[in-house]
Amino acid sequence: MIAARFFIIYSYNKGAFTQALFNFNRDYATIRDIMLSIKGVFD
C-alpha cells in the first residue's frame, strides 16, 4: 500500500520524488517502531 502510494506520487510529479522518498522512509520507521513495540509486549 505504501509502495503503491509512493509510485503514484512519483508518477504524477517527479519533482516531488525527494519529498515522497522522505515520507516513505518516515512511514517505514513508524511501522518498524510499532512492530517492535508489539513484539516487546509479547516477548
Q: How far apart are CA 12 and CA 5, in angstroms?
A: 11
Domain boundaries, the chain: 2-42
pLDDT in tens, the chain (43 residues): 677 777 776 666 666 677 777 888 888 889 899 888 888 887 6
Q: How far apart are CA 29 and CA 16, in angstroms?
A: 20
Handedness of CA 30, 36, 41, 42 (dihedral sign): positive
Q: How far apart are CA 30 and CA 37, in angstroms?
A: 11
Place of cell 522518498: 21
